[in-house]
Amino acid sequence: MSKKNKGPVVIELDETPAASPTDVPPVPEDGLPVTTPVVAAATVAARPRSALVRWAWRIAVALVGFMVSLAAWNWVTGLVATNPVLGLIATLLIGLFVLILLAIALREWLALRRLKRVDQLQHRAVQAMADSDLKAAQSVTRDLEKLYRNRPDAEWGLARMDDLRADVLDADGLLNAAETALLQPLDQAAVAQVEKASRQVATITALVPLALADVVAALTANLRMIREIAEVYGGRGGTLGSWRLARSVMGHLVATGAVSFGDDMLGSVAGGGVLGKLSRRFGEGLVNGALTARVGVAAMEVCRPLPFTAEPRPSVTGILSRALTGLFDRKAA
């Protein structure tokens, strides 16, 4: 019986390419923070307010005020009827309290008016650039100089504007000159406030093991930072003004999509793959610090009297790199 010659065996494969390790989806990391206090606060603040809810709160406040006023009136009149001396003292104390409330209300109104003035300057500047209107640009620069006339840190910029005003004959050039001369030093001061808040939030989140410490630290530091940035640019706000600013900044964040979280921005700070190399608490610290920096940049855009045209918009990555230098070491990571 003769043996058959066995040749090579050819096995036909499918045309589909073989899977490589790069095609495998990443392993989910359950410990990573998906949402943070800043994201939650921005989402809540940017929600449109219902007219029914606003009127309900107004009526509730008016009703409570009416009840308190009526109770105080009946109490004082009854006290005057029984004891005139004590009734007179109570009347004087209530009158003094009302005067203090009126003073607080006046301060809040002036603060809101100043914030509105800065906001109108920004809108007028944008319109003047869009229309190439020299007269409108000159009006904006004059109002901007009035806003910073009594500030020692703006003396050089005001003198520079006096020298440049006659030489600039177009709207864009005049507004760019005003931005460079008057707002560049203020931008540096505002960036310093953002770096301080980002460092504070990141440090507390990474080192304090308390459950709600990062929430309280992030919200408190962000509200304080927004108020300080507004004061840097001349928009000094009271309690109501601070809440109005916070709503405007959070709305700006949501509208521009700046609250979205991504590891791409953090990777440029700590050398890539941050969240996979650092511990959970340090990763959360980086995330909260990064979002605080984004809130700070948005606050600068909202509170600034002029938009960023001649001067570059601050980079979140640059702010984080300076703010977290030494706090998160790349080699240690």
Summarised one tens digit per residue, pLDDT across range 107-134 is 888 877 887 888 888 888 888 888 888 8
As a whole number of angstroms, the distance between CA 107 and CA 24 comes to: 61
pLDDT value for 272: 42
C-beta of residue 176 within 8 angstroms of C-beta of residue 125:
no
What is the crossing angle of helices 213-232 and 184-207, to 10°?
170
41 versus 150: the higher-pLDDT residue is 150
How does pLDDT run across 129-155, given as a tens digit for each residue? 888 888 888 888 888 888 888 888 788
- Give the integer Cα–Cα distance in Å for 54 and 210: 36
Contact 294, 316 (CB under 8 A): yes
* Contact assessment for residue 205 and residue 284, using Cβ atoms and an 8 Å cutoff: yes
Residue 311 within any structural domain of the chain: yes
Query: How confident is the model over 201-226, as pLDDT tens digits?
Result: 888 887 777 767 777 778 888 888 88
- pTM for this one? 0.67
Rounded average pLDDT over 21-31: 43
What pLDDT is recorded for position 21?
A: 45
Is position 40 within any domain? no
* Domain annotation covers residue 244: yes
CB-CB contact of 146 with 152 (8 Å): no
Interval 11-19 mean pLDDT? 52
pLDDT score recorded for residue 216: 78
Section 25-40 average pLDDT: 45
Helices marked H in the chain — which ranges?
Answer: 37-45, 51-82, 84-131, 134-147, 155-164, 171-178, 184-207, 213-232, 239-256, 263-270, 274-277, 280-303, 316-323
Give Cα separations from 56 to 62, 66, 82 (angstroms). 10, 15, 39
- Is there a domain that residue 233 lies in? yes
Residue 315 has pLDDT above 80, yes or no: yes
**Average pLDDT for 151-173:** 81
**pLDDT level of residue 330 (50, 70, 90 thresholds):** very low
Let me know if residue 41 belongs to a domain: no
* pLDDT at residue 260 greater than cutoff 60: no
pLDDT interval class at 77 (50, 70, 90): confident
**pLDDT tier at 159, thresholds 50, 70, 90:** confident
Using CB atoms within 10 A of its CB, is residue 306 exposed (0-12), middle (13-18) or buried (19+)?
buried
Q: Is residue 96 very low, low, confident or very high in pLDDT (cuts 50, 70, 90)?
A: very high
**pLDDT computed for residue 131 by the predictor:** 86
Per-residue pLDDT tens over the stretch 277-304? 456 667 777 777 888 888 888 888 888 8
- Number of domains present in the structure of the chain: 1
pLDDT at residue 39, rounded to an integer:
52
The answer to whether the CB of 38 falls within 8 A of the CB of 259 is yes
**299 touches 235 (CB < 8 A):** no
Range of the domain at 171: 58-323
Is 33 within the bounds of a domain? Answer: no
Q: What is the chain's mean pLDDT, rounded? A: 74
Compute, in degrees rounded to 10, the torsion defined by CA atoms 197, 292, 215, 283. -100
Which pLDDT value is given to residue 100?
92
Specify if 25 maps to a domain.
no
**pLDDT tops 90 at residue 177:** no
In contact, 235 and 118? CB cutoff 8 Å: yes
∠ CA 240-244-249, nearest 5°, is: 150
Instruction: Give the Cβ contact number of residue 169 at 10 Å.
Output: 8
C-beta of residue 119 within 8 angstroms of C-beta of residue 306: no
Residues in the chain: 333
- Does 47 map to a domain? no
**Residues 50-77: what's their mean pLDDT?**
86
